[in-house]
């Protein structure tokens, strides 16, 4: 299992940035992020899985249900598998009501 996970992570790093990722999108309350910046819930920001956190400051475009939102990577989400993202409420609301809590999205580096 561990070997498979490492292979998936290696593949993800290899195919970035041209291929879209997919995973769950949840939202969180941003603060001091792993990238060293302080953000608030009204900033369009995102935390990505720890294996993708070398991408501080990059913008991603998130697609859901025919809609797109952009967010800047400012933090890491240690509990996220590769492809899953944690966004600020202002980003989540552009795509779906906060009530949904968790939805499946695709995204790519802008
Ligand atoms: C990401 O979104 C921005 C703003 O809508 C757009 O200008 C840009 O072309 C998009 N990038 C990709 C790779 O789709």
pTM (two decimals) = 0.82
pLDDT band at 94 (very low <50, low <70, confident <90, very high): very high
Reported as a single tens digit per residue, the pLDDT across 10-32 is 555 554 445 799 999 999 999 99
**Both tokens of residue 37?**
């910046």
Give the pocket of ligand 1 (CB within 6 Å). Answer: 61, 70, 108, 110
Q: How many CA atoms lie within 13 A of 109 on its CB side?
A: 16
Most ligand 1 atoms within 8 A of CB, residue of 59, 70, 71, 72 to mutate: 70
Strands (E) located in the chain: 21-27, 45-49, 59-64, 67-77, 85-87, 103-109
Say what the pLDDT of residue 1 is.
Answer: 47
The full set of domains in the chain, from first to last, is 16-109 (2.40.40.10)
Reported as a single tens digit per residue, the pLDDT across 51-73 is 776 799 999 999 999 999 999 99
Strand 67-77 relative to strand 21-27, pairing: unpaired
């Amino acid at each position: 299992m561990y070997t498979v996970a490492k292979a998936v992570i290696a593949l993800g790093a290899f195919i970035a940035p041209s291929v879209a990722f997919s995973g769950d999108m949840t939202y969180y309350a941003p603060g001091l992020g792993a990238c060293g910046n302080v953000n608030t819930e009204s900033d369009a920001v995102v935390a990505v899985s720890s294996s993708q956190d070398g991408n501080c400051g990059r913008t991603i475009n998130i697609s859901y249900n025919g809609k797109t939102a952009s967010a800047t990577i400012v933090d890491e989400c240690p509990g996220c598998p590769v492809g899953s993202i944690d966004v600020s409420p202002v980003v989540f609301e552009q795509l779906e009501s906060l009530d949904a809590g968790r939805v499946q999205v695709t995204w790519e580096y802008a």
